[in-house]
Structure 1
Amino acid sequence: MARVRARFGHRGHRPVGEPHQPLAAKRQVNIRKDTDVSADLLTVEGLSIAYGPTTVVHDVSFSVAKGESLALIGESGSGKSTIAKAVLRLLHHGEATARGRVALNGRDILALPEKQFRPLRGRALGFIPQDPASALNPVRTVGAQAHEAAALLGETDSSVRRTKILDVLEQVGLPDPMRVYDSYPHQLSGGMLQRVLIALTVLPRPSLIVADEPTSALDVTVQKLILDMLTELRQELDISLLLITHDLAIAAERADSLVVLKDGAVQESGSSRVVFASPQTDYARSLQADVPALHPDRYRDQRTAFQSTHDGGSRIGDVSSPSPGLQIDVQEVSKRFSAGGQDVLACDGVSFSVQRGRTHALVGESGSGKTTAVRLLLGLEQPDGGQISVAGQSTSGRSRTEVRDIRRHLQLVYQNPFTSLDPTWRVGRIIREPLDQFGVGTKPERAQRVREALESVGLPADVASRRPAHLSGGQRQRVAIARALVVRPDVVVLDEPTSALDVSVQAGILELLSKLQRELGLTYLFVSHDLALVRQVADTVSVLRKGQVVEDGAVEDIFSRPQHPYTRALLDSIPLATPASALGGLATEAKQLAKATA
């Protein structure tokens, strides 16, 4: 944990052997031994929050000292964001009631009249929301919105404000601050927008920043840059950080202390190194077990057992493949688009192949060409050059009927289960839609297939009568998988299938995909920017950068002996999650190797 200590300026963690406090504790003592309660910047005591008659947060207590960081972790519905809203006084008035004490520098802000609390917003309490795209006004420039934050400094001279804004934009690592100042939000990338939000948050120099999943929508390399920047700013400006996240690896690496929440109640809390190295509750242990970086071989034995007995031929609609075992073959595929009057080479000679019953991963940052390659494979776009075949059947030069038959056996599971399912349809109709489109079977046969598909993904039959809004995120993604499987495909393309899900729900979906692959002999093309996840689920991998494959091969080889600097940069962005002396994992080994070969 020396690395983590160095990042946080060594503010004094407890020894590994020192116990932390499980569920029974009602007061979580700050981890600094040399700090008494009076030195705490934020103190939360006995906080309970209810929406109407339903209590969603139960008697939560924790504290954060000046300059320190604390992470609230847990699944969706655990109460993390609700607690953050209580600290920020953003709970809907009249809908939610909060009891207990939330003190900032000794003042109970829950008891303050709004007129007295309003000056604390921005100046004492800063907030970094989860989605930067929706947090900024799309019809106003960044500079215009930044002046609102600069006004909190009390400076009346607009030229002085502008200088301070440009300085802070430069401080958060934005190239050409003047261009950013004059830009509208849609003209900046997601990573740049998040940096803008951080700049606007730190500009008034608040004492405490509440960051609600600040990197969940970002690529792994951009995520690392943002987290590094938050850490540096916290050290330089002596700002405290309340981090809201469901990613235990990030919390363990970036926070001084952790509070583990489940169903609105504290399961355990303490020093992050202690909680992570030796969790005391079953729930915390389950969260730790679901961190991909710590368990890289979780599904390897299952894949090996299947592949040793199922290597062999392929099929698409009862047509034998001339290349035994080869399900996907992409050779020297190129695709050019025109954007803003300029040609963009989205795919530049991309090649990869996938054997039957195996999982191949495409990894890379946004703009690397992953999505374009998938769209070309699915026939949603036509390549400018190269060849694509599925089980030996070329997808080019064929009639619409022939291509349609191939597509029937090549299905897609989308990234976001909250937007990929029609909210006005019931689940049964959603799953049945591919059968209707391809004219498969009679009406009773289709109904039976829907029931079988629901059963195969572990959902009860009565889910068919519900709408997506009545399902959890994990259940929605299972519905999306059932929809892909209902036509009994050979190949399933998984486009970031778990990026919108909590780590524990993610683990459940991956277990399901592994089970279905073993039982049905499915071939997966797994698209992701999360290398720790890829290490768990994939047999082979292609690393894409700016439309080109910079490295490909067996996952074990790529992770153990990365050859390209870009691959090493991706590996170096995996959250370390644990000290070297604690639970190991491929992430630690990969980062050491990457640094040694850099």
Structure 2
Amino acid sequence: MTARAAMAGHAATAPAATGQLLAVDGLRVSATAAPGGPVPILEGISLEVGRGECIGIVGESGSGKSLAMRAVAGLLPSGTGVTGGSVRIDGREVLGLSPREHHALRGRRVTLLMQDPFTMLHPQLTCGRQIADGLRDLDGGRNLRRAKAARRAEVERRLAEVGLGPDVADRYPHELSGGMRQRVAAAAALAGDPELLIADEPTTALDAASQGAVLDLLRGLQRSRHMGLVLITHDLRVAFSACDRVYVLYAGQVLEHGSSHELESGPLHPYTAGLLASEPSVHERFAELPAIPGSVPAPGSRGPGCPFADRCAHAAPVCRSEPVELLPQVGAGTAERTSRSSACVRMPGIGGALLAPSARTVAEPAAVPGREPGAEPVPDAALVAMSVDRTFRSSAGDHTALRDVSLTVPRNTVVALVGESGSGKTTLARIAVGLETFDGGAVSVGGISLPTGRRPTTADRRRLAEQVQIVFQDPYSSLNPLRTVGATLREALAAAAGGRGRGEAPGVEDLLAQVGLPGAYASRRPAALSGGERQRVALARALAARPRLLICDEAVAALDVSVQAQLLNLLVTLQREEGFAVLFITHDLGVVRQIADLVAVMHRGRIVEQGVAAQVLDAPQHPWTRRMIDAVPGAAGNSRRS
């Protein structure tokens, strides 16, 4: 049995935690600086964590997951404040502590591990120094200040605990891969030997193998230290594979709670069922992913009843008038820590519908353009890369990003490019759009040959922009925050006006309608949009040029599962209607199964396996491909609902 399989089965078989470590009861947090008075954000959150136990907190962005745990650690952002409830750590109330007392609490009793290790690690300090800084806080620093050798030995022991060699102590964060940085961040967070570790989306930006390694690491440290672990995530597969129990949050309230196995096999709230149905499967491709319509209501816009009522297919008038109350469910067990709870007032009438298998239609295998008899020849492909090499040179040494990479993206085809962080995926994408040079080989985009050893000229870049566009992972950083959506799209349309003229040019409202947004959004700025809405705007801007090749670089990696389903369905529809090719870079193999016709697997700058997506995922030939598939949470035992 693999380590991932063992973890997948842990949630159902883990022994009960011994003793209550964290107890949150009726926690309320409000935006205190809002015009017109405080606006509730968290409305009575209650949860608990036992010693030696791992709990998961799941829900869409805006549900209050991170804010609740920041209140526990005394790190609420400015403009917010606790307006009610209780937070006790080992029986001690911590909400009334002074800033100085909270500072003393952090590190020794409770600590946070953030999503991006760069936010925790100083770029100008060695990794060893940053771990040692946490050690020196112990006992006033009296023990570890006595000898430099003793500090070094302890730092190396901490690095070994997270699976890193002693040489990492002398390296800087930018010299490490994403997975290694997350391990160093974990070692630094645990330097003060806390009793409770709060990990906030610690695996979101990592590939499957690195994600699995970090989860194994956190769970192993939690067991060996017998500490409490809170895992905040929007990835249900991560929560179910790593956690003993899961709390489902929505719009500042807990809508469901239970053991990981129970929630995965039988949700007792429509919101949980909707999240489960939105998850792409590594094993099957569906004709369409069921997506929860709408988005999480903003604080101040929630009605008196269930906050999910406006998005719920089972909502009745009572759902919009009765306040939410989390109640134990009949037959869910008697032990408080393992009992099932749901806040759905209609559960007695709709429970059977939620427990029924999800209505997802398995898609029939489609012919793959460029790989079937009679299909177009390769020279007419949207992208052709032949034996491409790229080495980055610096005073710190040379780094070979691409080695003899050959890849073809046929017209009207979706090709997924997968691999670990740092394997060269983004470098290849940047070369294709003219943002990066290459040292050797040949690259052709839409019939335009790119020069070797230098960037394209201004005229060539204009021609290239007519052929290829790119959508990045973070739409907020790629959209001008000072410009309205309409201004951004008008600029893109103007740039495309001198292009090929393939049919009548669309307008701003046409582009917004194409990506499922109302025309009124043209007057909004990026800050007024949700993450999924911003990504739709970024997609609309890319489609303004009507490109023959669209490159999506982790375009759905940071999105909630329900929003991800909406974007994947939209992209599949647009690709079929417009007939453009897609190079889809992702680390999520479930997304690969759902969207890709072909897949190429990269490892250390080389393509080690490629072929029809279903064949590669079902019968991988290269050890690295098999390792990635085995690392997907839940894949070994396939406990996911399909």
TM over 0.5: yes
- Residues 348 and 579 of structure 1, relative CA distance in 2, 3 Å threshold: closer
Select 1:542's aligned residue among 587, 595, 600. 600
What does residue 262 of structure 1 align with? 250
Question: What residue is the counterpart of 2:610 in the other structure?
Answer: 552
Which SS does the other structure have where 1:419 is aligned?
helix
Question: CA–CA distance in 1 between the matches of 2:510 and 2:567?
Answer: 18
Determine which of 403, 408, 415 is the counterpart of 1:360: 415
Indicate if the aligned counterparts of 2:629 and 2:635 stay in contact, CA closer than 8 A. no
Aligned residue type for 2:202: P
* Secondary structure of the structure 2 residue equivalent to 1:127: strand
The letter of the residue matching 1:167 is R
Q: Structure 1 residue aligned with 2:25, among 45, 68, 74?
A: 45
Equivalent-residue separation in structure 1 for 2:626 and 2:377 (angstroms): 37
Q: Is the 8 A contact 1:289 1:295 kept in 2?
A: no
Shift of 1:114: 4.5
Match of 1:67 in 2: 52
Per mean C-alpha deviation after superposition, the further-off stretch among 331-340 and 490-499 is 331-340
Q: Does 1:512 align with 2:512?
A: no
Q: 1:403 to 1:49 in 2, by over 3 A?
A: closer
Candidates 162, 167, 171, aligned match of 1:172: 162
Q: Which moved more, 1:165-174 or 1:471-480?
A: 165-174
Q: How much has 1:425 moved relative to structure 2? A: 1.5
The 3-state SS of whatever aligns with 1:102 is strand
Aligned letter for 2:109? A
* Partner Cα distance (2:363, 2:507) in 1: 26
Secondary structure of 2:476's match?
A: coil
Rate the CA distance shift 1:247–1:552 in 2: closer, same or farther, 3 A: same
Question: SS state of the match for residue 477, structure 2?
Answer: coil
Q: Which residue is equivalent to 1:149? A: 134
Aligned partners of 2:26, 2:560: CA distance in 1, in Å? 26
Q: Which residue number corresponds to residue 285 of structure 1?
A: 273
Between the aligned partners of 1:331 and 1:133, the Cα distance in structure 2 is: 35
Q: Would the alpha carbon gap of residues 429 and 165 (structure 1) be closer, same or farther in structure 2, given more than 3 Å must change?
A: same
Matching residue of 1:318: none
Are 1:331 and 1:352, in contact at CA under 8 Å, matched by a contact in 2? yes
Please, which runs of 5 or more residues in structure 2 have no aligned partner? Answer: 33-37, 289-361
Deviation at 1:438, TM superposition (A): 4.0
Report the identity percentage.
41
Q: Distance in 1 between matches of 2:204 and 2:581?
A: 28
Q: Tell me which residue corresponds to 2:63.
A: 78
Q: Which residue of 2 aligns with 1:213?
A: 201
Aligned length: 548
The corresponding residue for 2:626 is 568
Q: Using the alignment, how far apart are the partners of 1:175 and 1:285 within structure 2?
A: 43
Q: Which residue of 2 aligns with 1:20?
A: none
Q: What pairs up with 1:104-115 in 2 under 5 angstroms? A: 104-115=89-100
Distance in structure 1 (CA, Å) of the matches to 2:484 and 2:364:
34
Residue 115 (structure 2) aligned to one of 125, 130, 133:
130
Answering whether residue 474 of structure 2 is matched by residue 416 of structure 1, we say yes
Whole-angstrom distance in 2 between the partners of 1:302 and 1:325 = 28
Cα–Cα, structure 1 residues 152 and 393, in superposed 2: closer, same or farther, change >3 Å?
closer
1:451-490 map, 5 Å: 451-490=509-548
Q: Distance in 1 between matches of 2:407 and 2:95?
A: 58
The change in CA–CA distance for 1:40 and 1:91 in structure 2 (over 3 A counts) is same
Contact 1:323-1:392 at 8 Å conserved across structures = no
Structure 1: 5+ residue stretches without partners: 13-31, 315-320, 586-598
Q: TM-score, normalised by structure 2?
A: 0.79
Give the match's secondary structure for 1:388. strand
Shift of 1:140: 3.1
CA displacement 1:177-224 (0-9 Å, x = unmatched): xx3333333333332222122112223222111111112222322221
Deviations 1:497-528 (A, max 9, x none): 11121121111111110110121112111111
Contact preservation (8 Å) 1:9, 1:235 = no
Which residue does the alignment assign to 1:228?
Answer: 216
Secondary structure of the equivalent of 2:123?
coil
Amino acid at match of 1:187: E
> Which residue among 274, 296, 314 is the counterpart of 2:262?
274
SS of equivalent residue, structure 1 residue 269 = strand
Contact 1:432/1:450, CA 8 A, preserved across alignment: yes
Aligned 8 A contact 1:7 1:231 in 2 = no
1:479 positional shift: 0.5
Q: Is the 8 A contact 1:322 1:392 kept in 2?
A: no
Partner of 2:153: 163
1:338 to 383, 393, 401: 393
Q: Distance in 2 between matches of 1:118 and 1:143?
A: 22
- Which piece of structure 1 moves more, 285-294 or 112-121? 112-121
**What's the offset of the Cα at 1:75?**
0.7
One-letter amino acid matched to 1:226:
V
Distance 1:403 1:153 in 2: 57
Distance (Å, rounded) in 1 between the aligned partners of 2:283 and 2:83: 39
On the 8 A contact 2:8/2:242 being kept in 1, the answer is: no
Structure 1 position 465, deviation (Å): 1.4
Deviation at 1:579, TM superposition (A): 5.3
Name whichever of 529-538 and 466-475 sits farther off.
Answer: 529-538
> What do you get for the CA RMSD once the two structures are aligned?
3.0
Instruction: After superposition, give the CA deviation of every residue in 1:342-375 in whole Å (9 maximum; x if it has no partner).
Output: 4443222211222322100111112212122222
Matching residue's letter, 1:512: L
Change (3 A) 1:551 1:295: closer
Report the Cα distance in structure 2 between the residues aligned to 1:521 and 1:545, rounded to whole angstroms.
30
Amino acid at match of 1:530: D
Summarize deviations over 1:147-202 as a string: whole Å, max 9, x none: 331134315142244432221122111112xx333333333333222212211222
